[in-house]
C-alpha cells in the first residue's frame, strides 16, 4: 500500500500516529492501516494504542454530550438574530445531528415565530383593507 498522504504517515510523530489509530472514524481506512503498521515498526507498545483508543472514545463522548446539551441563548438572538431565526425556522436535522436540547427548543420557538409572523401579516392586511 502506498503512502500518498501529506505529510506521509511515516514522517508523522508517534503521537500523531496514535491519534490516527485512536479515532479511525475520522480518518481514511488506509491511513489507519498505515499508522498501525508504522507504530508496529516503531515498536510502540499495544497498551499505548489501547490508551489512545480509549482517550479518543472519551473525547467523542464528551463532544456528543456537549452537542446534546447545547441550547439557544439570549445572545444568539441579540448578536446573530437573522441566522438564529433562519435556523429555527428552516433547520430540520438538529436532533439527527445530536443537538437534542436545541431541537426541543426549536419546536417551541418555531410555533411561536410562525404565530407571530401570521399575526403581524394579518394585522397588516386588516390595516390595508380599512
CA dist 87 and 96 (Å) reads: 15
pLDDT one-digit tens code per residue, 1-12: 777 788 888 899
Alpha helices (H) in 3-129, listed in sequence order = 14-22, 29-41, 46-69, 74-79, 81-90, 100-129
* Same domain, residue pair 13 and 48: yes
Q: Residue 9, exposed/middle/buried by CB under 10 A (0-12, 13-18, 19+)?
A: buried
> Per the structure, how many domains does the chain have?
2
Contact partners, residue 107, CB within 8 Å, separation at least 6:
none
* Same domain, residue pair 113 and 91: yes
Range of the domain at 106: 70-129
Q: Does residue 2 sit within a domain?
A: no
Q: Is the pTM of this model over 0.75?
A: no
* Same domain, residue pair 44 and 78: no
pLDDT one-digit tens code per residue, 69-115: 999 999 999 999 999 999 988 888 999 999 999 999 999 999 998 89
What letter does residue 44 receive in the DSSP assignment? -
Other C-beta atoms closer than 10 Å to the C-beta of 129 total 6
- At residue 28 the predicted structure's pLDDT band, cuts being 50, 70 and 90, is confident
Residue 38 pLDDT greater than 80, yes or no: yes
Amino acid at each position: 500500500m502506498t503512502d500518498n498522504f501529506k505529510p506521509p504517515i511515516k514522517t508523522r510523530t508517534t503521537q500523531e500516529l496514535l491519534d490516527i489509530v485512536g479515532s479511525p472514524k475520522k480518518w481514511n481506512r488506509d491511513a489507519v492501516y498505515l499508522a498501525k503498521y508504522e507504530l508496529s515498526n516503531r515498536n510502540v507498545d499495544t497498551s499505548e494504542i489501547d490508551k489512545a483508543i480509549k482517550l479518543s472514545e472519551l473525547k467523542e463522548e464528551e463532544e456528543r454530550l456537549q452537542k446534546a446539551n447545547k441550547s439557544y441563548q439570549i445572545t444568539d438572538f441579540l448578536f446573530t438574530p437573522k441566522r438564529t431565526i433562519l435556523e429555527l425556522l428552516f433547520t430540520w436535522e438538529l436532533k439527527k445531528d445530536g443537538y437534542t436540547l436545541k431541537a426541543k427548543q426549536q419546536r417551541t420557538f418555531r410555533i411561536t415565530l410562525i404565530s407571530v409572523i401570521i399575526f403581524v401579516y394579518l394585522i397588516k392586511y386588516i390595516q390595508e383593507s380599512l
